[in-house]
A and B are shown apart, each in its own frame.
Chain A
Amino acid sequence: MPKDHGIGASSKRREDIRFLTGQGVYTDDLNLHGQAYAVIVRSTVAHGKIKSINTSNAAGMPGVLAVFTGEDFKDVGGNPAGWLINSRDGTPMREPKRPVLAHGKVRHVGDAYAAVVAETHAQAKDAAEQLAADTEIKDLPAIVDMAAAVADASNRVHDEIPDNLCFDWGWIEDNRAKVDEAIRNAPHVTTLELINNRLVPNAMEPRASIGEYFPGTGDYKLTTTSQNPHLTRLLVAAFVMGIPENKLTVVAPDVGGGFGSKIYHYGEEALVLAAAKKLKRPVRWTAERTESFLSDAHGRDHVTKIELACEKDGTFIAFRTETLANVGAYLSNFSTATPTFLHGTLMAGPYKVPNVYVNVKTVFTNTAPVDAYRGAGRPEATFSLERVVDKMCRELNLDPFEVRRKNFITTDMFPYTTPVGLPYDTGNYHATLDKAMEIANVSGFEKRRAASAAKGKLRGMGLSTWIEACGIAPSHLVGVLGSRVGLYDAATVRVNATGNISVMVGAHSHGQGHETVFAQIVADKLGIPESSVEIVHGDTSKIPFGMGSYGSRSLAVCGVAMTKAIDKIVAKGKKIAAHMLEAAEEDISFEDGKFAVAGTDKAKTFGEIAFSAYVPHNYPLETLEPGLEETAFYDPNNFTYPAGAYICEVDVDPDTGKVDILSFVCADDFGNIMNPMIVDGQVHGGVGQGIGQALLENTTYDENGQLLTGSFMDYAMPRAEDVPFYQVDYSCQTPCTHNPLGVKGCGEAGAIGSPPAVVNAVIDALHRGGHTQVKHIDMPVSPSRVWSAIQG
């Protein structure tokens, strides 16, 4: 019988009521008294020297209140990179300043170099067009192709960086010679060169920010589309604007999706604050969709060569990769961690391969910054691995299922430290593979293939077995690796005098359903109704300093902080109960919302204890403070390691190259499940994005650095017709061993595991259809690419 409340129940989402009735409050929905409107002026060339900006015409236009250029911000700080990565030779990465508005040079199409603030949005837009016309920019040659950028030292994105290289990273450098040796001596080596296509995250809500300034107190307020308001506050206050942190409140209200793109601080957030201070009025900026394409941090964009060395029976001996990773024109906050510690450290996959070496060169180009997008580094690692394994199986005529099985880390090997340094605590990769094969009815494939063939279609089946690392931590380790922040999270549980509860959490929900799931956990732990628990998030003036939501960390890190705060509440409640019940504290038990004296019928309800804490008439005031509110910070001692097996079946139309996804099976191990309905939804969404990457989406710059895919008319977002119903299972559960909830995280799984399953299925279909010359097709596996591959 499924549970109907608490941990493990598919509680319906309470946040849905406001979203379904149009009562959600997203940043752009706010219309503050006296609000003015900012419009950003963006570069239309990829690379250029700003010769002059004549602001006087724009400034004199109707309704215009202020004009800003890079000159206004040249003395404030830059938007910093969150991770310092060293090159193989020990030298630190190159870290050019990322200004609020470009000064001197523009470095990508969409680079913001000026802004206009006016009484109405239309007036600001008119003036911004005038300002663009009054700006002279001398074109410089655009640097778009990564290999060319590194090869040509004469053309520089940043004048001070001669080879356009941010860093040349080796992981683990000490293993390099051993790995090279293993590959030299291996009986078989499969080599694959591939591109992990550049994507635009495209949360449906475009970025937006409102700045406010309160002259009476000198306080600022930023309302913004952020996945992590405290991090944004820290960056804006301490690094960019030089505002005392305690004079700035950052609020991320309802946020319409993030997928990574709203982790980062963007210059527009500083701009609206500066404008609000100057004008003493609220100033709102909202991106148009094309601005999102031009200026949101993009994802992926790796060019990789991977080698797999193995025995003739498919036993893995070594993986070695060389990757060029695009960081775009400036370093976004996590852009240096994504292709390194979120990518290289996963390059052993779920396999007991003894030798792995990863080399990543990150390259500056005249394109938008590239950073973490759902999965962030792990999809790139998984795609490289699962594609090269598939290719090897074809070369050696081996069964891809059996090859995975043969190479999986087995359950008796945990904890298992990979050659790329991650200590996997637990898992059962055979179990998820078996489960996926069962659901996918692998043994019935041949019959289905024959049915497709009868319709003139080529049917194929693709497998991907994936692993990821979530809840990045512990802080002392990430500090050694180059992180400039800690990666704990925090929660405050405030029991109100009447017994209901407010929980202030550092995590931020922008679709994940924390308001429901976190309340389920609190209710379960305290034996009270879910409706008595309110989850408060997104407002730095209310919540403790937490790191927000990304990297599937909300439950695994913040959720655990919350349970630790609850433990403190229960411990204090026991002291209060012991006093009230005239019993020893160690004799008090807490169960089903009642503090009871063991072996008696003497008990106090949770509500009675809460009331006593706030009306402490009968209370141990000499030894215990009144009140019932506890905060916990939680810094995990390891990552969590969700893993799974995905099987995709496709039909390929050999006449057109069109790929139809017929079925998609996910068997995942997320550890313990808090709300199955929401886990299903997270997997569906991730797989939908992964199918988008595999079949449809591509971010294309031409040789001049012009973005050719700058709207939904040019960039193929997956739509309802492009995807099937997914079959999702997470019954194979090996709970995380180092957090008390036993949870691992499920937000990114689908986007990590699905692209190689799709591409492997397409290649399988082509091979079964006799097109054995096709070794690889880069994503997106579009009709034209498939058709061309079929033609040879």
Chain B
Amino acid sequence: MTKVTMTVNGKAVSGEVEGRTLLVSFLREGLGLTGTHVGCDTSQCGACVVHVNGQPAKSCTAFAADLDGASITTIEGMANADGSLGTIQQAFQDHHGLQCGFCTPGMVMSSAALLAENPKPTEMEVRHYLEGNICRCTGYHNIVKAVLAASGQDVSKIAAE
């Protein structure tokens, strides 16, 4: 067992992990932050995306022990300070960008990373950036629309709310 210390959503945390403990397991089982989900075992679906030192990462593919000292942001850290939904979260609700909600945390985290590096993406840039996040419910229409809306672009011309 190894002791790791991280900053998660701005709070210092620590815990004992096995060498094989994945970051996602540490977050979910160790810290009780179950908003980050596991949808596959092969780093394909993106339900587990968090930010590690400001970069999007699939937490099912990182060992917790390797991330001593890292700063992690999860979906639980995305709301505004007053608890209201952040811009991207609010856009997902406004544009019905989620249904079952399972892929949603990863979608929001990836979208936030996209908008951080490309504040006004085109539709195709959004679609391309989200290729590592699978959603089975929405057919992606309203997810793409929500991300475009969150970037401040006019989405009223896009077919159907």
Which residues does A use to contact B, with CB under 8 Å?
Answer: 10, 12-13, 15-26, 28-29, 31, 122, 201-206, 254-257, 259, 288-290, 510-513, 676-678, 680-681, 684-689, 691, 711-713, 717-721, 723, 725-729, 750
Which residues of chain B are near A511, meaning CB under 8 Å? 99-101, 137
Which of A28, A256, A687 meets B139, CB within 8 Å?
A: A687
Main secondary structure of the interface of B (DSSP, over half): loop
Given A15-B101, A513-B99, A677-B96, are A726 and B41 neighbors across the interface (CB < 8 Å)?
Answer: no
B102 interface hit (Cβ, 8 Å): yes
* Chain B residues within 8 Å of A725, by CB: 123, 141, 144-145, 158-159
B37 close to A256 (CB less than 8 A): yes
Known interface pairs A23-B35, A685-B137, A721-B128; A17-B93 also in contact (CB < 8 Å): yes
The one of B45, B104, B127 in contact with A20, judged by C-beta atoms closer than 8 angstroms, is B104
Give Cα A750 to B20, complex, Å: 42
CB distance from A633 to the nearest CB of B (A): 27
B119 to chain A, nearest CB (A): 19
Q: How far is the CB of A280 from chain B (nearest CB, A)?
A: 22
15 contacts between A and B (CB under 8 A): A20-B89, A24-B101, A26-B102, A204-B37, A204-B45, A205-B102, A257-B102, A684-B141, A686-B139, A689-B136, A717-B136, A720-B128, A720-B131, A723-B140, A728-B160
A22 in contact with B41 (CB, 8 Å): no
Does B13 lie at the interface of the complex (its beta carbon under 8 Å from any beta carbon of A)?
Answer: no
The answer to whether B35 touches A21, judged by C-beta atoms less than 8 angstroms apart, is: yes
Which of A26, A255, A719 makes the CB contact (< 8 A) with B131?
A719
Docked-complex contact A750 and B139, CB < 8 angstroms? yes
Within the complex, the shortest CB–CB distance from B38 to chain A, in Å, comes to 7
Closest approach, in angstroms, between the C-beta of B118 and any C-beta of chain A?
A: 15
Q: A720 is contacted by which of B39, B101, B143 (Cβ under 8 Å)? A: B143
A623 to B101, CA, bound (A): 48
- Check A290–B41 contact: CB distance below 8 A: yes
Contact of B40 among A17, A512, A712, A750 (CB under 8 A): A712
Q: Which of B79, B126, B138 has the most CB of A within 10 A?
A: B138
B105 in the interface (beta carbon within 8 A)? yes
Contact between chains at B139 and A726 (CB < 8 Å):
yes
Inter-chain contact B41/A289, CB cutoff 8 Å: yes
- Least CB distance from B94 to A in Å reads 7
Q: Measured between alpha carbons, how far is A128 from B12 in the docked complex, in Å?
A: 36
Flag if B92 contacts A20 (CB, 8 Å): yes
Determine the residue in chain B with the shortest Cβ distance to A729: B160
Q: Which of B20, B124, B161 has the most CB of A within 10 A?
A: B161
Which B-chain residue is minimally distant from A686 (CB atoms)?
A: B139
Q: Known A684-B138, A687-B139; judge A22-B144 contact (CB<8 A).
A: no
Chain B residues, Cβ within 8 Å of A689: 136, 139
Q: Give the distance to chain B from A728, nearest Cβ to Cβ, in Å.
A: 4
| CB of A511 to closest CB in B, whole Å | 3
- Interface residue B82 (Cβ < 8 Å from any Cβ of A): no
Partner of B39, one of A22, A289, A676: A289
Given contacts A204-B137, A750-B139, 14 further A-B pairs with CB under 8 A are A19-B104, A205-B39, A257-B136, A289-B39, A289-B45, A510-B100, A685-B136, A686-B139, A719-B131, A720-B127, A725-B144, A725-B158, A726-B159, A726-B160
- Contact-residue bracket for chain B: 35 or more
Across the interface, do B103 and A685 meet the contact criterion of CB distance under 8 Å? no
Assess whether B20 is in contact with A122, with CB atoms less than 8 Å apart. yes
How many Å lie between the Cα of A552 and that of B7 in the bound state? 45
Decide if B99 touches A26 in the complex (CB within 8 Å): no
Instruction: Name the residue on B nearest A205 (C-beta).
Output: B102
Determine the chain B residues whose CB is within 8 A of the CB of A680 once the complex forms: 96, 141-142, 160-161
* Those 4 A-B pairs whose CB atoms lie nearest each other, nearest first: A22-B35, A688-B139, A19-B101, A256-B102
CB distance from B14 to the nearest CB of A (A): 19
Assembled-state Cα–Cα distance A259/B137 (Å): 9
Question: Measured between alpha carbons, how far is A688 from B89 in the docked complex, in Å?
Answer: 23
Give the nearest-CB partner of B75 in chain A: A22
In chain A, what residue has the closest Cβ to B78?
Answer: A21
B150 in the interface, Cβ–Cβ < 8 Å? no
Q: Which of B26-34, B51-59, B62-70 contacts its partner?
A: B26-34
Q: Cβ of B74 < 8 Å from any Cβ of A?
A: yes
B 1-45 binary contact with A (CB < 8 Å = 1; else 0): 000000000000000001010000000110011111111111011
Using Cβ atoms and an 8 Å threshold, which residues of chain A touch B128? 720-721
**Inter-chain contact B76/A22, CB cutoff 8 Å:** yes
Q: Closest chain B residue to A255 by CB distance? A: B100
CA A29 to CA B40, docked complex, whole Å: 15
In the bound complex, CA of A721 to CA of B140 (Å): 9
Is B161 in contact with A21, judged by CB distance below 8 angstroms?
no
Answer whether A31 and B142 are a contact pair too, CB < 8 Å, given A21-B85, A680-B96: no
Taking the complex as formed, is B72 at the interface, i.e. its CB lies under 8 A from any CB of chain A?
Answer: no
Q: Are B136 and A203 neighbours in the complex by a CB distance under 8 Å? A: yes
A688 neighbours in B (Cβ, 8 Å): 138-141
A246 to B76, CA, bound (A): 38
Q: Which residue of B lies closest to A290 (CB)?
A: B41
- Bound-complex Cα distance A11 to B28 (A): 32
Cα distance A163–B154 in the bound complex, in angstroms: 61
- In the assembled complex, which residues on chain B have CB atoms less than 8 Å from the CB atom of A513? 99
B98 within 8 A of A: yes
A728 to B92, CA, bound (A): 19
CB neighbours of B29 from chain A (8 A): 31
Would you give the 0/1 interface string for B114-131, flagging 1 where the beta carbon is closer than 8 Å to chain A?
000000000110111011
Are A720 and B144 interface neighbours, CB within 8 A? Answer: yes
Q: Contact: A712 with B45, CB < 8 Å?
A: yes
